[in-house]
Chain A
Amino acid sequence: MKEISEAWQMRIFDLLEGNLSEGEKATVLAEIGKDPDLQREYRLMAQTYLKPEEQIIFTRKEDLYRKPGLLVFWSGNRAYAAAAAVALLLAGTWMLWPQNNQPEDAVRMVQSHTPANAEKAPANVPAIAGSATTQQKIAIIPKATPVPDEFQNDKREFPVPENHDTFRGDPLPVFAGNIAETTVITGTDSGYAPEIIVTELGNLPVSQGKKRSLTYRLLNSSRKMLANLQFPDVSLKATRKKGILPHVEMSITTKDEQVIATLIE
């Protein structure tokens, strides 16, 4: 068995790839027909063509589908998706907290949209404007969202259960609709960036590998949610910081204003 030159290997490769003209093809085939070593080379090369394994399918299409007017937020890993929802909801709540001398009603309005209080929510909640200081200008405008029937009597604690086992085993009672129908408009005139620390994620009693996975799930869930929120002209930049512990920073930039939400695990 002789060594096949690279030039001939390439000719056979071109033949199999369909890169040769009819004339070249005939010439190469004629040569192969005369030489058993070239025939072996041809046969081996032909065996390197892979066939798609059609039995491998993506089983989570439901997570990808979009429904007009409805946020598809519960993904395969509902707890993580919920965590992202909580993070952003907390962000909104944090921004409205009385530290900015905002009217208590503002907080109450947001809370009224939690599942436990959803029945009491007014049909149309008016826009709530946060205090417009020289440092920041925030407005959160929640709209009334119908609560799905199966959650009408849901009385679970909101927003974050105290123990992590509950968190892991029992998805948080956060409604996608609460987020989906909430428009968050913030402006940072002085570049002030609120920072939200989601300590519950950092303290999850899971392995490092799971935390890494969780970090990306959180990131992706947040991306998904933001995509569904349909902010006009929003661009999203997400980075994973170097380091031993997973750490995600996410910033959202609009054309007119800059909104910075930082999610830290």
Chain B
Amino acid sequence: MNTEQFNQCVDMHSDALYRFALKNLKDEDEAREIVQISFEKLWIRRQEVDYERVRSYLFTTGYHAMVDFWRRQKRSSEMTPELENTVSTPAQEYKGLKGIIEKALKQLPDVQKSVLLLRDYEGYSYEEIGEITGLNESQVKVYIFRARQTLKQVIGNLEAVL
């Protein structure tokens, strides 16, 4: 991959990768870091990465960077559990179906959230998601199913209230 192709990849994939990271991490700075790390690695390995598979490479790299982030975050929250407990979300932040789904999405386990976003945002097949996340196809399917079940439950509860 030459410099021009690399820059094309920035144009083509950075938005989607950023969206994916932001939706997973809910932190703009961290999401930017994920994008930057992914493209740094791509640049370093540009001679080895097949141009046709750049998108998959970027998402794989980004996903692994996010897994590292979650681990750090988990360690950090173990050290300061009180912070986690004192953060409350104002109910008015989540208005309407979109807001409700957004809230439910935040509460999904990280892996479920990631596979669901890869599926819905990027349209990846189970196989491709498996390559990115290191899961097998069956696991991917089950995680997506469980994630949809959770979202469906939340939507159903909202309907019941209304």
Which residues of A line the B interface, CB within 8 A? Answer: 9-10, 13, 17, 19, 41, 44-45, 47-53, 56-58, 60-61, 63-68, 75-76, 213, 216-217, 220, 223-224, 227, 234, 236, 240, 242, 244
What's the tally of chain B residues with a CB closer than 8 Å to chain A?
43
* B148 x A45 contact (CB < 8 A): yes
Alpha-carbon distance between A224 and B22 when the two chains are bound, in angstroms: 22
Given known contacts A48-B151, A57-B15, A220-B33, is B120 in contact with A65 (CB within 8 Å)? no
B54 part of interface (Cβ distance < 8 Å): no
A62 to B: closest C-beta gap in Å:
9
Tell whether A53 pairs with B19 under 8 Å between CB atoms, given A48-B152, A227-B44: yes
- Inter-chain contact A67/B15, CB cutoff 8 Å: no
A237 to B75, CA, bound (A): 21
Verify B6–A66 contact, CB threshold 8 A.
yes
Closest 6 CB pairs of A and B: A58-B18, A48-B151, A50-B120, A58-B14, A48-B148, A52-B121
Closest chain B residue to A225 by CB distance? B40
Of A50, A58, A223, the contact of B116 (CB 8 Å cutoff): A50
Q: Choose one: A10, A48, A61, A66; the contact of B43 (CB below 8 Å).
A: A66
A63 near B36: Cβ-Cβ < 8 Å: yes
Contact with A along B111-155 (1 / 0, CB 8 A): 000001100110000000000000000000100110111011001
- Is chain B's binding surface mostly helix, strand, loop or mixed? helix
Q: Say yes or no: A216 contacts B152, CB within 8 Å.
A: no
Q: Does B66 contact A (CB under 8 A)?
A: no
Within 8 A of A (CB), among B33-58: 33, 35-37, 39-40, 43-44
Whether B36 pairs with A64 at a CB distance below 8 angstroms is: yes
Chain B residues near A49 (CB-CB < 8 A): 120
A61 touches B121 (CB 8 A): no
> A50-B121, A56-B15, A223-B40 are known contacts. Are A9 and B149 too (CB-CB below 8 A)?
yes
Q: Given the complex, which residues of B lie within 8 Å of A51, measured CB to CB?
A: 120
- Asked, given contacts A48-B151, A50-B105, A216-B33, whether A61 binds B10 with beta carbons under 8 Å apart, the answer is yes
A252 CB to nearest B CB, Å: 11
A76 to B36 Cα, complex, angstroms: 11
11 A-B pairs in the complex with CB atoms less than 8 angstroms apart: A10-B145, A41-B152, A47-B152, A48-B148, A58-B15, A60-B36, A64-B14, A76-B32, A217-B33, A234-B44, A244-B79
B97 pairs with A47, CB closer than 8 A: yes
Residues of A within 8 A of B101 (CB): 47-48, 50
In the complex formed, the residue of A with least CB distance to B38 is: A64
Question: In the complex, are the beta carbons of A236 and B44 less than 8 A apart?
Answer: yes
Smallest CB separation, A253 vs chain B (Å): 13
A68 touches B14 (CB 8 A): no
Q: Which of chain A's residues have a CB closer than 8 A to the CB of B144?
A: 17
A186 to chain B, nearest CB (A): 19
- B155–A56 touching, CB < 8 Å: no
Report the Cα distance A67→B149, complex, angstroms. 47
B93 at the interface (CB under 8 A from A): no
